Amino acid sequence: MDNKWIKVMLWTSGVLFALLLALSAALWLLLPAEKIISLAEQEISESTGRMCTIDGFGVSLWRGLALDLEGVELAAAEGEDVPYTARLEHLYLKMKLLPLLSKRIEVASLVIAGPEIFIVRDRGGKINLSSMIPEDRGTEPKAAADAADEEFSLLLRRVVLEDGVLHYHDLADSLRLTLAGIEGDLNMEPAGGGNSHPLDGSIKV
């Protein structure tokens, strides 16, 4: 798999983790459901630069923290001739609670069901998703990066993709392609108990 798209996938997962933490904090503060959804929509909108809407969600604390988001949609940017940039039917995330006491975010599984994404290349050659990818922070001072790493560590064990659809619209070459029935299962278990997290799994169309 191309490293660029792995980076996009991992960054998107990071956005979802930030959303999870925002929702968890809201729940502990006993906010109304409407307010929790509003916070989640705001978090994703600010992180992606696209207006986000969420139809509903469910939360369970049985054997860890489980979050189920329903009907998550990212609006298309102005001038894009597509119904939306991305939409998914369900996002289910299962996270362990005890590791949080040791400043570790340990996600057992992240299931993305029914995602549909529109990739649009305009006549100037620019891809619509490029504006959603954060700039490379390779020049960030080491001290600041180390301080951020010391706050929380993140472990994502498994990502499952179910019944995905990918549309590609190339306005420069008048080309339109659609890939449907995309299934994926990616694992990032630590190697030998160390800090290395090799990416292993498969994606099928």
* pLDDT tens sequence across 40-93: 888 888 888 899 999 988 777 777 778 888 999 999 988 788 999 999 999 998
Do 31 and 22 form a contact (C-beta atoms < 8 A)? no
CA-CA-CA-CA torsion sign (39, 40, 41, 46):
positive
Do 83 and 98 form a contact (C-beta atoms < 8 A)? no
- Angle, helices 3-28/33-48, rounded to nearest 10 degrees: 150
Contacts (Cβ under 8 Å, ≥6 apart) of 104: 152, 153, 154, 155
* pLDDT tens sequence across 109-141: 999 999 999 999 988 888 988 877 765 555 555
CA Rg value for the chain: 18
CB-facing half-sphere around the CA of 122: CA atoms within 13 A: 12
- Average pLDDT of the chain? 77
Residue 201 has pLDDT above 60, yes or no: yes
CA distance 155 to 106: 5
* pLDDT tens sequence across 151-185: 667 788 888 999 999 999 998 888 999 999 999 99
Residue 61's pLDDT is 72
CA distance 106 to 51: 28
Nearest Cα residue to 127 out of 93, 87, 90, 77:
77
CA distance 122 to 76: 13
- Confidence label for 145 from pLDDT (cuts 50, 70 and 90): very low
